Amino acid sequence: MKSITKLLFTSFFTTLLVACQSEALFPDTDTSVELIQLSPEVQAIKDDLDLSHFESDPSGIDVDKIVIDWENHISSQKEDGLWYQFPLTTVLPAQLKSDLIVQQDYMLVVAISEDVTEYSLVKLAHLEGSSPTATYLQLGGFHGMTYLYDLNGATRGVAYVENGETHTSITTEHWHHVPMSNCDVHGLADNVRMGTMNHNDLHDQGCDGGGSGWVRVATDHYTDWYNHRGGNTWEYSHTEYTGTTYEYIWVEGGGGQYLNAIYLPDAYSGGTGNDFDLGEFYDWYYNERDEGEPLRIQIDPSLQDTVAGCVLAKLMLGELALYRDTIGSFEDDPSFNLTFTFGECSDGDDACTSAADLSDGNITIKIQNQGLHALEYASLILHEGIHAEIFRAVETYTSELLNPNDWERLGQLYRNYLADNGNNTETTEAQHRFMTERYVIPLAEAIWKLDNKRYPLDDYMKFGWDGLERYGFTGYFHDGVFKRLTREESNEDYHNQDKVLNNTTF
Partner 1 sequence: MTVIKKLYTVLFICLISFSIHSCIVQDSEADTESYEILNMLIDKHAKPLLPPPPPLPNTFTYDSVNIKENYYSGHWSSKSDSIIYSNKLDSIKKKNEILSKNIAQIIAIDPYFAVPWLADSNFNFANSPEKQRLYEALKAIQDSIPLRIDRLKITRNDSLTYWSKAQHRRRKGADYVGVDIVASFSRVAFDEKKQKAALVVSFNRSVLAGFSAIYFLEKKDDKWVVIDTKGLWIS
Binding site for partner 1 (CB under 8 A): 220, 239, 241, 244, 343-356, 366, 369, 371-373, 376, 380, 383-384, 387, 394-395, 397, 407-416, 418-425, 427-428, 431-433, 437, 466-471, 473-477, 480, 482, 494, 501
Dist. CA 53–CA 63, nearest whole Å: 10
Choose between 155 and 353: whose C-beta lies nearer to partner 1.
353
Choose between 148 and 312: whose C-beta lies nearer to partner 1.
312
The 8-class DSSP code of residue 26 comes to S
Choose between 305 and 469: whose C-beta lies nearer to partner 1.
469
Choose between 126 and 193: whose C-beta lies nearer to partner 1.
193
User: Least distance in Å: CB of 373 to partner 1?
Assistant: 7
User: Least distance in Å: CB of 467 to partner 1?
Assistant: 3
Choose between 120 and 427: whose C-beta lies nearer to partner 1.
427
Choose between 247 and 280: whose C-beta lies nearer to partner 1.
247
User: Least distance in Å: CB of 497 to partner 1?
Assistant: 9
Sequence-distant (6+) residues with CB within 8 A of 305 are 193, 194, 195, 197, 278
Q: Is the dihedral of CA 435, 438, 441, 447 positive or negative?
A: negative
Choose between 105 and 451: whose C-beta lies nearer to partner 1.
451
User: Least distance in Å: CB of 465 to partner 1?
Assistant: 9
Cα angle 217, 220, 224 (rounded to 5 degrees) comes to 160
Dist. CA 66–CA 90, nearest whole Å: 5
User: Least distance in Å: CB of 275 to partner 1?
Assistant: 30
User: Least distance in Å: CB of 363 to partner 1?
Assistant: 10
Beta strands of 256-402 (E only): which ranges? 297-299, 337-342, 351-357, 362-367
What distances in angstroms separate CA 79 from CA 76, 114, 121, 166, one per listed residue? 10, 11, 21, 17
User: Least distance in Å: CB of 91 to partner 1?
Assistant: 25
Cα angle 81, 87, 90 (rounded to 5 degrees) comes to 150
Helix or strand holding residue 469 (H, E): helix 469-474
Q: Phi and psi of 8, rounded to 5°? A: -60, -45
The answer to whether 356 and 336 have CB atoms below 8 angstroms apart is no
Beta strands of 252-361 (E only): which ranges? 297-299, 337-342, 351-357
Burial of 338 (0-12, 13-18, 19+ CB in 10 A): buried
Dist. CA 362–CA 298, nearest whole Å: 11
User: Least distance in Å: CB of 292 to partner 1?
Assistant: 30
Choose between 47 and 235: whose C-beta lies nearer to partner 1.
235
Nearest to 86 by CA among 107, 104, 61, 65: 107
Residue 109, beta-bridge partner list? 85, 120
The answer to whether 340 and 365 have CB atoms below 8 angstroms apart is yes
User: Least distance in Å: CB of 459 to partner 1?
Assistant: 16
Choose between 87 and 343: whose C-beta lies nearer to partner 1.
343
Choose between 120 and 502: whose C-beta lies nearer to partner 1.
502
User: Least distance in Å: CB of 309 to partner 1?
Assistant: 17
Residue 466 amino acid letter: D
